Amino acid sequence: MQVFVDCDPGIDDALALAYLAAQPEVRLVGVGTVYGNNAVDVTTDNALRLLELYGARDVPVAAGAGRPLVQPPSLAESVHGRNGLGDVVTPGPQGTAVAESAAELLVRLVRSAPGEIDVLALGPLTNLALALGLEPELPRLVRRLVVMGGAVQVPGNVTPWAEANVSNDPEAAEVVLGAGFDLTLVALDVTMRTLADAAWLDELAAVPGERAAMSARFLDFYTGWYSRALGERACAMHDPLAAAILVDPALVTESAEVPVRVELRGEYTRGLTVADLRRWSPDSDSRPAVTLATEVNSAEFLKRMLNALR
Ligand code: BDR
Ligand code: CA
């Protein structure tokens, strides 16, 4: 399968790239970067470094948006470190980003292979919204879109209601979720139940090799932040879970086909993802449904994640 990743690395983005790079059936055709966990020049440099580390330096990396469509950006250095990778210094990249923007690269790739490329969105959805502006047929040209973002029936992580990737650009998320993609939404509802716990982290620490060692060091920083939030030594595997679901949709064991909107105006609820979960919902809403993952096989994913780092 051909996969384009749009991301803001980002420690869990790094693990997602490691996961994909280790799957024999996956061919990474491009990586777009976006502000989010850090500024876009930092996330772009990180994407290049990570592809180098994972033996995928030939994959084109395109720098994307440096700010959201409407609001000013806000970064997540407390969660991901000042350099976005837990302040761990990785080997310098040999390559540089291509001249196209992330949106331009995505549009060019899917136009050249209509219906063949899967897209994984792991950061704010600004690049995808910009790509829709360049190519309104994008939902038909992309085979399948998996988005890590949102919090439907659970609390948010940046505000009581809003998850980071949606909260970072609510206008972009509202456009993308309503555009008519074959879209699976991997929200905090499932990622906050997919935790790498102390036993898993200890198992990773015992895996030989640079890839595993670097990932363990990234996760040390990330787990420091999550342990304070969760009250135990553990961290949430948001982005790698979405990557694994892209590769194997069967990891989603229960889902709902529902329209999802983003609250754009609420004084306290801006960035909230509102899914219409009513069974008897009136049929007057023409907004396309997305597949909302409501149950996943976390144990199987965690096993596969560890194998990918071996
Ligand atoms: C999402 O926000 C980012 O900080 C993570 O990389 C992940 O994509 C989780 O809310
Ligand atoms: Ca991310």
Tell me what pLDDT residue 264 has: 98
Percent of the chain with pLDDT over 90: 94
Helices 298-309 and 238-247: angle between axes, nearest 10 degrees = 90
**Does the Cβ of 194 fall within 6 Å of ligand 1?**
no
Q: Which ligand 1 atom lies nearest to the CA of residue 10?
A: 6
pLDDT 10s digits, 210-219:
999 999 999 9
**Does the Cβ of 162 fall within 6 Å of ligand 1?**
no
Q: Indicate which residue of 8, 12, 13, 169 is catalytic.
A: 8
- State the average pLDDT over residues 179-195: 98
Residue spans of the domains in the chain: they are 2-189+239-277+284-298
- Would you say residue 282 has pLDDT above 70? no
Compute the distance from residue 123 Cα to the ligand 2 centre, in Å.
4
Tell me what pLDDT residue 223 has: 96
The closest residue, in CA terms, to atom 4 on ligand 1 is 37
CA nearest to 236, candidates 193, 298, 295: 193
- State the average pLDDT over residues 46-53: 96
**Does the Cβ of 13 fall within 6 Å of ligand 1?**
yes
- Would you say residue 88 has pLDDT above 90? yes
Compute the distance from residue 242 Cα to the ligand 1 centre, in Å.
11
The CATH code of domain 2-189+239-277+284-298 reads 3.90.245.10
Q: Residue 80 catalytic? A: no
- Would you say residue 285 has pLDDT above 70? no
pLDDT 10s digits, 129-175:
999 999 999 999 999 999 999 999 999 999 999 999 999 999 999 99
Choose between 281 and 65: higher pLDDT: 65
- Would you say residue 46 has pLDDT above 80? yes
Is this complex scored with an ipTM above 0.90? Answer: yes
**Does the Cβ of 10 fall within 6 Å of ligand 1?**
yes
Provide the pLDDT confidence category of residue 91 given band limits of 50, 70 and 90: confident
Q: Which ligand 1 atom lies nearest to the CA of residue 37?
A: 4
Q: Residue 8 catalytic? A: yes
Do residues 50 and 37 touch, judged by C-beta distance below 8 A? no
**Does the Cβ of 76 fall within 6 Å of ligand 1?**
yes
SS3 content of the chain, % helix, strand, coil (to 5): 40, 20, 40
The CA distance from 277 to 291, in Å, is 12
Tell me what pLDDT residue 284 has: 58
Tell me what pLDDT residue 283 has: 57
Do residues 14 and 305 touch, judged by C-beta distance below 8 A? no
Provide the pLDDT confidence category of residue 92 given band limits of 50, 70 and 90: confident
Taking all residues of the chain, what is their mean pLDDT, rounded to a whole number? 96
